[in-house]
Structure 1
Amino acid sequence: MTLMLHAGGEAIAYDALTALSTPDPTASHVPVPHHAVVDMVRYALGFFGHELLEEHHAVTTDGMNYFGVLSLRSPHGDYTDMVGLRNSHKKQFPIGIAIGSRVFVCDNLAFSADHVIRRKHTANAKRDLPGLVAAVIEPLGVARQALAHTYDRYKSLSLPDEMADQAIMAMYRDGVINVTRIADVLRAYEEPPHDWGDKTPWRLFNAATFTLTGRVAENPAATRRLHDVIDGVCQRLL
């Protein structure tokens, strides 16, 4: 679960979230209750058959900004698909719903995923959001299956040490990791802290994401570039 709290955010239970007050609307800004955003996404996920595994919520100290992450049980493998949420009562950012294999939602406003909805707080926002959410979540099953096929390919290919070294340097050149993390990725690949199987692109992918844990909020594009590096390795191995 990747909900980063280091800029004043405080974890909060869902029940406490429902008790937070919502500011009165103005002509140009119609706040949507934080819990209402969660409820809409929960409903759409359940309607389209996605099983919610766990959820984490946070708000800023004044309760005006909300951040959340929901994880979905994957029927395809040993990982979770993620849904990230954010909402603001003070016009700091629009309503955001992000969906991907791993989502990073941070109280410093970093927000990244494979598919992102952003909706301003207008008079029609509450009316339109359920349809927008459904439009993204309805095809989510297909996206999750495609991701599973990608990970199966990562797991199926043997990765020579020379190519692993080249891939780690490609991560550095492409801005996935900085120079101080090169050794960390190599160490996690050579001596895995978890069972990621034999030396494959999957093991290297996990070594990199393990090293990036807690740092991606500052560089949210890193996960997309990491996939590009690992996909390139796989193409060379096929």
Structure 2
Amino acid sequence: MTLMLHAGATEVAYDDLRAVATPPRTASHVPVAHHEIVELMRYSLGFYGHEIIEEHHAVTEDGARYFGLLSLRSPDGEYTDTLGLRNSHDKKFPIGIAFGSRVFVCDNLAFQADHVIRRKHTANAKRELPGLVAEVVEPLNTERQEQAERFLRYRETVLPDEVADHVILSLYRSGVINLQRVPDVMEQWETPAHDWGDKTLWRLFNAATFSLTGRVAENPAVTTVLHRVIDGVCERTV
């Protein structure tokens, strides 16, 4: 989970969100309480059988902006799915909900994931919010199944060292890793810091993500390119 706070927001407990005042509505702007969005998401996730195992919430000092992350227990326990949330009372950005295996929420207003939906604070927003949440929550089981199948293909794809070298070079050429990180990926491929099994695409995928610790926060788009390169290897070895 990546909730970056370096532009004035502070992490708070969920219960503290109830104490954040919601400004009155105007003709063109109808604020929704931060805690109401979280509660609706919690309820919807539970209704569809998803278990939240970790959550983080943050608000700016004036309470005008909210940022949050909810981590869900994955079907196989090897990774987590994440939902990102954000809301504003100062018209800076709309209600936002993001989903993916890599979600990036920052108080500098960066908001990225595999899937992102947004809803303006209009008179109908609160009434339509449950439908907005359903747009994300209902497809989650399908999304998670597809992710599990993708990772299974990674585990089943055995890589000779020479092929691994070629993939690492492809990651460099694609801009996923820079020249300085190439040795880091190779080291994790040969002597991994964690048990990622035998020399398969799964081990190489984890070697790459391990070496990218920190950079994903700087540029979340690298995860999309990483998957594109790894998936390409799977297609060529089928």
TM-score, normalized by length of structure 1?
Answer: 0.94
Structure 2 residue aligned with 1:224: 224
SS for the counterpart of 2:81 is: strand
1:170 and 2:165 matched: no
Structure 1 residue aligned with 2:129: 129
SS for the counterpart of 1:236 is: helix
- Superposed CA RMSD in Å reads 1.5
Deviation for aligned residue 1:188: 2.4
1:158 and 2:150 matched: no
| Equivalent residues in 2 for 1:14-53, closer than 5 Å | 14-53=14-53
1:181 and 2:181 matched: yes
Match for 2:96: what amino acid? G
Match for 2:186: what amino acid? L
Deviation for aligned residue 1:66: 1.1
Counting aligned pairs with the same residue, the percent is 69
TM-score, normalized by length of structure 2?
Answer: 0.94
CA deviation map 1:39-77 (0-9, x unaligned): 111111111111111111112232221111111111234
CA distance in 1, matches of 2:199, 2:7: 38
Deviation for aligned residue 1:157: 1.2
SS for the counterpart of 1:193 is: coil
Match for 2:211: what amino acid? T
Structure 2 residue aligned with 1:67: 67
| 8 Å contact kept, 1:29–1:121 | yes
Q: Count residues with an aligned counterpart.
A: 238
SS for the counterpart of 2:211 is: helix
Structure 2 residue aligned with 1:193: 193
Deviation for aligned residue 1:191: 2.2
CA deviation map 1:7-45 (0-9, x unaligned): 222111000111111122222211111111111111111
| 8 Å contact kept, 2:75–2:148 | no
CA distance in 2, matches of 1:125, 1:62: 23
Structure 2 residue aligned with 1:144: 144
Structure 2 residue aligned with 1:4: 4
SS for the counterpart of 2:75 is: coil
Structure 2 residue aligned with 1:85: 85
Match for 1:131: what amino acid? G
| 8 Å contact kept, 2:34–2:87 | yes
Deviation for aligned residue 1:109: 1.9
Structure 2 residue aligned with 1:100: 100
| 8 Å contact kept, 1:76–1:145 | no
Deviation for aligned residue 1:150: 0.5
Structure 1 residue aligned with 2:206: 206
Name which of structure 1's ranges 213-222 and 148-157 shifts more when overlaid on structure 2: 213-222
Name which of structure 1's ranges 165-174 and 149-158 shifts more when overlaid on structure 2: 165-174
| 8 Å contact kept, 1:70–1:84 | yes
Match for 2:172: what amino acid? Y
Deviation for aligned residue 1:146: 1.1
| 8 Å contact kept, 2:95–2:119 | yes
Gaps of at least 5 residues in structure 1 are none
SS for the counterpart of 1:177 is: coil
CA distance in 2, matches of 1:163, 1:62: 53
CA distance in 2, matches of 1:172, 1:159: 18
CA distance in 2, matches of 1:54, 1:232: 32
